[in-house]
Structure formats: structure tokens, C-alpha cells
Structure 1
């Protein structure tokens, strides 16, 4: 009997041993060891999660010791609509002998509150962020929930993140170096600015057309774009960051209101654009009934709890897109003008809306396409509908009388002037931000930005960075005797001379008044720097012919400081150069006094 059962006991022991090894392997698998050579990590495969059916503090959570589940794929952290709070747990270790600075970034911006607890060996930290948190209370003022994290040499920390969100909970998050985070942030901000700029331009364009032509189709489209823009602004976190962070818990409700309002206006637009009342009366009645439902849904989003309001928003938006697509297909079969372009445009939007709704409901996984699908689809849809509206506009132009055609051309010219003014104003603002308006050189802001990058390059490549500070002598008498216009003319001529002597990749700046800065990268020979300084001195001292024909001359005192790939910052370089410059000025003043005394 014992011999008969011995193999089963052995098998059982082996299985238990394998299970123990598997548990140990999972624990080791969950720990993330960071390296300063890597710019970022996805924390999904190093994260465990647990659903809490009641609000808990961190101490209460640790006392309970609930069974956390290990996440293996991004889809494991996509929980859709759930009323429960979700806790995430991640262990991170810095195995190096140097301190590391990281940014913890949650990818999904539409999270009401994210509380991050950082457990260290002797103390813990609590940080808070999220779309429902006022901007001034967030750990970092950013459209996403992001948190700075500093790891001491050899330190292991445990992150506990508590996420409370009325909307869909997609909780993938990353660990990024500060440089990688800000580079990614700049790239995302560029595309978001382009996207919202397009929405704003299209909405404004159609508002202008409505006021000029009194055609309601343009008004419906502009209102549709307005509601959609407000919802997407809030959803992406830009609206709460820049405009309405005071909304708090009602931030998510604004998303529901915006998308439901856009569905209502989209139904109005479809009826007007396809002229369903004339071509397809039955579909016109169907859309009218659905429009009434959308209005009721809009009222419901104001009074329902936030999560049911968001679910209603998803259903309403999906049904509106699908209904208008079917109506468009029927209009194509009836040869309704512009119906084909309408169907193509609305198909793209329907795909984006389906991806958005199904991702929120947890059916689709969270990735780049599902996260930004509605934005991509809506951008293409609005561009195509703009083309369709342009075709309708041309048709109206041919049908209207000559006076109306002239009015339309006037509106076009006004729009072009407005766009040019916006472009000119944008360019002027960019110039104001980094350029000196008198000389065209970098101003203090532009100098600071260029110097920061140059110092980083110097530290990375080991190449020196030289800073020349130039202060004009005998400039005040020119201002006093010839007026400020002559003084400005002299400053501009001096700036041109400095630029001519600078290399293509050097940075010239007017620091203020009659002070100039020249940043020189990659010159290792001190003699070359002295030669550059001598040539600058000679060029600036050359006579300058004023507009009235008078010749004037200014002197210059040049101080120089050099950073040998060390930790010097712009301020320390400027202090060294400034000290040397004033030493030169003092030496010149003493020489003048001795010369005057000798002559006396």
C-alpha cells in the first residue's frame, strides 16, 4: 500500500515545490530594478491590483493585507466602468550608487483622483493629482496624473496608488526619466494644440459662414464642434488644467454634457445637411424623435449621478453616430446631394466613437489607438465635412444673387485677414518670448533656454562652453547728445557686428541696456577665444555712421568665463564674466586717470 501511494506523494511534493517557486518568481517578477541608462519603463508587468468595495486609507489597507493580483498585460489594468476604488502596488529598486529622479505618469488623463503613497524604509509620502483635483493642489500641474519620484542610492520603495474615478478606469502607468517625460510632453502638446486649433478654426469658420449666409447648417456644425471641443478638452485634461479646474468632481459631468450636446447638434446638422425634410421625410421624423431623446439625455446628464451620466453619454453618442450613418447610406441610395461624403466622414467618426465607447466600457484594450481613436476619427470626419460644407457653400454661391456672392467673397477676405492676423500675432508672440525686439538677438528668456541646452551638451560631450559678456563704453553720451533713436541705431549696428563675427551655431543675446552675451560652444583653444574677443573689440570700436551723417564710436569691455564640462550654470558663468568685465573696466579707468595725470 505504501509503495502504491509513494509516487502520488512525490508528485504532490513536486507540485507544491513548483507552486512555491512560482510564487517566489512572481514576487521577484513584480520588482522593478531601474537603470539610469534607460529613459523609461512600463510599470504594468511590475504592478499588482486590488478592487476595494469601500474607501480605505493606506494603513487600513495594509492591516487587511488583501490578495493583490499580478498584472501581466496592459489589458489587465483596463477596468472599464467600476464603482470601486482600485489600488495598485508596485515595488521599485534603485540598484545603483547614484540618486535617480523619475516621473510616475498615468497614461489615461481622465482619472478623477489618484493618490500615490511612496513607502520608504523610515517614512512614507503621499501625493495627489487627477482631473478632479484643483490645479494648485496637484503634485505637478499637468493634464495627466504625474508624480515626481526620487530614489536614493540602493533604495527600494513600494508605491501604493489609490485611483477613484467615475469614468472608465484605465490604469496603465509608466516610470519615465525627467528628460524623456518632458520630451514626450512637448510632442503630445504639439499634436493636441494642432488638433484643438483645427477644431477651433473649423468652429469659428462655420460661425462666420452662418452669420454671413444665415444658413442654419453652419450654425449646427459650429455648435457640434463646440460641444465636442469642450468634452475633448476636459477628457484630455487640458480644460481642467487651463480653464475649469475649479469644477472638482463635476469635471466628469462636463464630459458627459459636452458629448451629449454634440450628439444633439449632430442630429440637427444631419437633418439640415442632408435636407431630410425634403428628400427623406421618414428619416427626418426618425431623426427628430432621436433628437428629442438626445435632449432628454442632456437633461439627464445634469441630474443623474456622474457614472450613470457617463454611461448614458456613451450609449447616446454611439447610437447617434450609428443612426446618422444608416440615414446617410439611405440618402446615398436616393442620390441626395453630398450624401456620399457625409457617409464617408461619419463612418470615420463612428469608428472613433465606437472605439471610445467600447474602451470606456472595458470591451477593448487600452492602447494608443483606443486612447486617441475618437480624436483621430473626429479630426478626419470634421475635415471631410468641412469639404462637404465647402461644396454646399459653392452651390449656394451659384444659386444666390450677385449681391450675396459679393458678401460671401467679403467674408472670405475677412477670414483670410483674420487668419493672417492670428498668424502674425502668433509669430509676434513667439518673437516676444525669445527675441529682443530692437536688435533681433536672443532676449533673456531665449538666452536662458539656449544656455541650458548648451550646458547640457557640454556636460554630455565634455566640450567647453565659453560665455563672453560685452558692455559698451561711452554709450550714454551718444544717447544724451543725439537722442534715444541714435542710441537704438548704435545698439542695432553693434548687434549686427556681433552676429557677423559669431559662428553659425553660436548664440548671441542682448542681455539688457547696452550689455550683450555671446555663447561659444566647442572651442578648446584659449587662444582662439582671445582672438574672438580681440576681433569683437576691434569691430565694435569701429566708427558708426548715424542716419544724420555723424560718426560716433563706442568702446567695449569684454569679460569671459569658460565652463570645462563641469556643473556650472548660466548664473555662475555670467557672474565670472561680469566680474572679469568690471575688472577690465576698472583697469581702463585707472589707465585713463594715470594718462590724464601725466598730461597735466
Structure 2
């Protein structure tokens, strides 16, 4: 009993597996009955394909070779990768409705050069063209994808033959949609594409402005990377052909290859600048330099080689760039280089998208929404993350600039303070030179005039007594004659020191010229009699002076005095005249005394 039940269960399971396995095959042999109650159908389970080696094959030739078609079972069977020959597709569509119906035949993959749809009816053959290499005005519908309108009469059955010629990957998933479903889907796709390209444009222009503001090449490299990538995606999605360069024809495919290889070059250069590999990782910097040189060769190859070869180089270069930069970023992250972790995370997402894109083009991965738009999804996330990293660098540069400006301002203030000190010292030195005698350090005539004017002003303001003493050295000329002018200058310096030593802090001492000296004394108290002052000065000056040669000399002095009281209108000139007169009177008296003393002897 148990054995029979077990045998029955195994038999039932095998039958179910066979049923599931055979369902696609059975479904592939059925006719696609389009009902208006359903908005969309996938052609994959109802299609047949033929890989034609002859590119000059016509529809009439095809109708005579019906047995070469092979059935498809699912959407992945329509992904032919980089197939050299053209691909023919065949499917039958019938209208189950009692009323005429309008449908749209839409290919999901926009990067197909030439797509020709032949609609075989009982009485005629309709031909429509589309594709990225076909001028917009010659397409069945002015759309970025290959889209064809299909009119079906009530209970009409037609056979669709589709001829596809493309230099790139042939991902031929296509669907049958009602116009309402098609335009709803189209609006949704256009919204996301507009958002994507708006983001690319904003990030590219923003970083370009940052480059002009900060002169940091990393922002320029990122802008060029975004520009190259955006150009390639524009051409790849058919938007560029639809809006800008419909005249390029098959060279649209070359533009895709050129854009992606240029983006790989700029991505390598950006990684070197962003991670500062020249400073932190010199060996990796050399490796990336070598790879960047290869990328430039790939850019040149994209311009001169046949388009299929250029597209193959594009896939290989893009995958290698993403993988190499990811490994470099991981190494830099282990070295704890600033922002390397965020770079690795961003580039991992981009690598995933680029890898899916390349492997789907090569026919290794199946075709679906993720593999079709993987590079756009990955690039959008990667560029957003890198923008955050660049924003962080922008803030860092801003802080560094502010700190540098603050340091510069501090340095300028210090330099200004030092300069002010130097100016003050220089001004003081100049004032000293202008007001002081170079030999003795006492005031000169200019300094004496300034100090005398200030002293007389104070004397008139406070009603104090002021005295001017004029000193003229006697027996000084013989010293110059006997010992030379250097000895005479030495004597003048010593006399000046003695005069300055005897003077008070508020007194003003000056060398008036030659061997004449002036002392202006303010606030003369009654107890400070001028006779006592003259006596002290005379004694100090008469003291012997030892010359540098060892000889001792002495001089005498004739002193003339003039005074001014607060109410007087005295001036320096009047005081000098009065003191000079008194001084010569003293000299005359001393000469007379010497004469009498000599006669008496």
C-alpha cells in the first residue's frame, strides 16, 4: 500500500515537472490573441527568430525560407549580444475584438541602428522603419525607441516580420501595448530620464563653477567625467539622436563608444586627483597613469576603428576602469586616505551598474529592466555619492581658505605692527638726525630752536624764570693745531658729556657750532643762583682731559647768560644776542685780567 502511494506521488511529480517545462514550448507555438481588455503583451513567448548571415536578404527571400526560424520561449531568448549578422523576428497577432483596434509595437532597447517592421496581411505588405540610425523624419514614430503603430481590423490576423541590424548589442525584447499604456509608460520613463539628465547637468555645472572658484583640478576632472558620461547616455538612450544629432546616422553608435571611453579616461584622472594618489600611493599613481594612456588610445580607436570593434573596446575599457579604480580605492581605504571609503562605496555601485551593462551587452546576463538601465541607476547613485564627497572637500577647502585668510590677516597685522615699529624707529632716528648733533649727541641748531620755542611757551604760560647760557671754549684751537682734528673732536665729545651730566632732566643742551654750546634752563629757582651754576660748569670744563694718545689737555670756557621772565616777550634770537653780548664781555674782562697779570709779572 505504501509503495503504491509512493510510486503514485513520484509519477504525479514527474508529470507536473513535464507540464511546467513544456508550457513555454506550447505557449510559443500559440497565436498571440490581442484583447483590448489587456493593456500590454510580451512578444517573447510568441516569437520566432532567425540569425541571418546574409545582410542583403529581402523579405521575399525570407518568405521562401520559413523553416529556418527558431522558437523563443522567454525574454532572455531575444538577447543576442554582439551578434555579427542581422536578426529576423516573426510573430502572429490576431484581433479577438469585433471592432478595429490600434496597438503599438515597442522595442525596449533604444540602441538599435535599423529596425524594419513588415506587416504581412492577406492582401498587402506594410513596411515601417525606425532605429537610432534612421533620421527622425523617416521613422514610423518620432520616438527615442523603435516604435511602430499597428492597426488591426476586427478578427484580423497578421504576421509581423521584423528585421534588426545593429552594430552594438542586439537586445530585442519587444512588446505589444495599447496607445494609452504606451504613452503612460513613455511619460513615466521620460520623467525619470529628465530627472537623471537634470541631475547630471546640475552636478557637472556646479563642479565646473567650483573649479573656476577654487582652481582645484579635481572639480574639473569630475565635470569632464560627467560630461563624457552624459553624452554617451544621451546617445545610448536615443534622446540625443531624437533632439540633437539625427543627421549622424550610424555614427551615433560611434558617439556612444567615444563618450564612454572618454568618461573612463576622465574617471581615472578624477580618481587620481580625488585620492591624491601621487602623494599617498605613488605606485598606484603610475599604474593609473599607464591605464589612462591606454584609455586615450581607446578614445582614438573609437574614432578610427569599425563601429563594432569600437563598441567592444568601450565595454572592455569601461569594465576595466570601474574594476581598477575600485581596487585602487580599496587600497587607499586601507591606507586611511581621506574620503577613500566613500569613494569605494560610490564606485562599487557604479561598478555593479557598469558590469551589468557590459555583461548584458555581451549576452552573458539576461535582458530585463535592471540590466537595461543598470548603468544609469548605478551612475546616478555613484555621482550623487561622489558629489557628497566633493561637497565635503569643498567645505574642507572653504575652511582651509578661511583659515589661510585668517592666518594671512594675522601675519599682515604682525607685519603691519613690525612695520609701524620700524617706521616709528625710523622716524625717531630721522628726528634724532634732524635735531641732534652727529658728533656730540646734543641738540643742533634746529633742535635747539624747537626746544627753545616750547620752553618759552611754557615759561609764558606758567610765569617761570628761564635762563640761556652760551658757552664758548677757550684754548681749544691749539689742541686742533697740535694734536689734530680727531683729538679736537674727542675733546668736544668729552665736554658735551660733562655739560649733559651737569644739566637737569628738564634742561636743553645744544652744540651751537664749532666750540660753542648752549644750555636752556627752565624753572630757575631763587636758590639756584646763576653764579653757582656758572661756577660748576666752569670747574667741570676746566678739568683735564686725557686724549687717546695719552696726553692731557685742558680748556677753559667763557659763559654768557641771558634770562627771561614769564611776562617777557623774549625769543630765542633775543636771548642769544643778549647771551652773546655777555659772553664777549666776559672774554674781554678775562683778557684784561690776563694782561694786567702779565704786566705785573
Q: TM-score, normalising length from structure 1?
A: 0.63
Q: Number of paired residues?
A: 385
Aligned to 1:536: none
The answer to whether the 8 A contact 1:50-1:66 is kept is no
4+ aligned runs moved over 6 Å, structure 1: 402-405
The alpha carbon displacement at 1:34 in A equals 1.0
Q: In the aligned structure 2, how far is the partner of 1:106 from the partner of 1:384?
A: 32
Aligned to 1:511: none
The alpha carbon displacement at 1:398 in A equals 1.3
Secondary structure in structure 2 of the residue aligned to 1:170? coil
Aligned to 1:342: 343
The answer to whether the 8 A contact 2:28-2:46 is kept is no
The answer to whether the 8 A contact 2:28-2:72 is kept is no
Aligned to 2:419: none
Q: In the aligned structure 2, how far is the partner of 1:363 from the partner of 1:118?
A: 32
The answer to whether the 8 A contact 2:28-2:45 is kept is no
Aligned to 1:374: 375
Deviation sequence 1:470-525 (CA, Å, 0-9, x none): xxxxxxxxxxxxxxxxxxxxxxxxxxxxxxxxxxxxxxxxxxxxxxxxxxxxxxxx
Larger Rg: 2
The answer to whether the 8 A contact 1:43-1:173 is kept is yes
> Aligned runs of 1:273-312 on 2, under 5 Å?
273-312=274-313
- Structure 2 residue 105 is matched with structure 1 residue 104: yes
Gaps spanning 5+ residues in structure 1: where?
1-21, 406-600
Aligned to 2:149: 148
Aligned to 2:269: 268
The answer to whether the 8 A contact 2:27-2:45 is kept is no
Aligned to 2:397: 396
Aligned to 2:41: 41
The answer to whether the 8 A contact 2:28-2:71 is kept is no
Q: In the aligned structure 1, how far is the partner of 2:30 from the partner of 2:313?
A: 38
Gaps spanning 5+ residues in structure 2: where?
1-21, 407-601
The answer to whether the 8 A contact 2:142-2:242 is kept is yes
Q: In the aligned structure 2, how far is the partner of 1:27 from the partner of 1:391?
A: 56
The answer to whether the 8 A contact 1:355-1:374 is kept is yes
The alpha carbon displacement at 1:36 in A equals 1.3
The alpha carbon displacement at 1:303 in A equals 0.8
The answer to whether the 8 A contact 2:109-2:172 is kept is yes
The answer to whether the 8 A contact 1:45-1:72 is kept is yes
The alpha carbon displacement at 1:64 in A equals 2.7
Q: In the aligned structure 2, how far is the partner of 1:88 from the partner of 1:239?
A: 27
RMSD: 1.8
Q: In the aligned structure 1, how far is the partner of 2:130 from the partner of 2:98?
A: 30
The alpha carbon displacement at 1:402 in A equals 6.8
Q: In the aligned structure 1, how far is the partner of 2:272 from the partner of 2:67?
A: 55
Q: In the aligned structure 1, how far is the partner of 2:117 from the partner of 2:210?
A: 49
The alpha carbon displacement at 1:403 in A equals 8.9
Q: In the aligned structure 1, how far is the partner of 2:127 from the partner of 2:26?
A: 27
Q: In the aligned structure 1, how far is the partner of 2:404 from the partner of 2:345?
A: 34
Q: In the aligned structure 2, how far is the partner of 1:66 from the partner of 1:205?
A: 59
The alpha carbon displacement at 1:28 in A equals 7.6
The alpha carbon displacement at 1:249 in A equals 0.7
Q: 1:28 to 1:309 in 2, by over 3 A?
A: closer
Q: In the aligned structure 2, how far is the partner of 1:87 from the partner of 1:323?
A: 39
Q: In the aligned structure 1, how far is the partner of 2:402 from the partner of 2:34?
A: 72
The alpha carbon displacement at 1:29 in A equals 2.9
The alpha carbon displacement at 1:66 in A equals 4.0
Q: In the aligned structure 2, how far is the partner of 1:27 from the partner of 1:105?
A: 21
Q: In the aligned structure 1, how far is the partner of 2:168 from the partner of 2:62?
A: 23
- Structure 2 residue 205 is matched with structure 1 residue 242: no
> Aligned runs of 1:448-597 on 2, under 5 Å?
none
Aligned to 2:514: none
Aligned to 2:54: 54
Aligned to 1:259: 260
Q: In the aligned structure 2, how far is the partner of 1:67 from the partner of 1:57?
A: 15
Q: In the aligned structure 2, how far is the partner of 1:266 from the partner of 1:101?
A: 47
Q: 1:399 to 1:27 in 2, by over 3 A?
A: closer
Aligned to 1:159: 160
Q: In the aligned structure 1, how far is the partner of 2:280 from the partner of 2:228?
A: 28
Q: In the aligned structure 1, how far is the partner of 2:237 from the partner of 2:125?
A: 30
Aligned to 2:123: 122
Q: In the aligned structure 2, how far is the partner of 1:86 from the partner of 1:28?
A: 18
Secondary structure in structure 2 of the residue aligned to 1:79? coil
The answer to whether the 8 A contact 1:87-1:163 is kept is yes
Q: In the aligned structure 1, how far is the partner of 2:267 from the partner of 2:141?
A: 37
Q: In the aligned structure 2, how far is the partner of 1:52 from the partner of 1:280?
A: 52
> Aligned runs of 1:427-438 on 2, under 5 Å?
none
The answer to whether the 8 A contact 1:30-1:90 is kept is no
The answer to whether the 8 A contact 1:397-1:404 is kept is no
The answer to whether the 8 A contact 1:30-1:47 is kept is no
Q: TM-score, normalising length from structure 2?
A: 0.63
Q: In the aligned structure 1, how far is the partner of 2:75 from the partner of 2:27?
A: 19
Q: In the aligned structure 1, how far is the partner of 2:27 from the partner of 2:230?
A: 45
Q: In the aligned structure 1, how far is the partner of 2:267 from the partner of 2:385?
A: 15
Deviation sequence 1:299-321 (CA, Å, 0-9, x none): 00111110110000000000001
The alpha carbon displacement at 1:30 in A equals 3.5
Q: In the aligned structure 2, how far is the partner of 1:378 from the partner of 1:394?
A: 24
Q: 1:347 to 1:27 in 2, by over 3 A?
A: closer
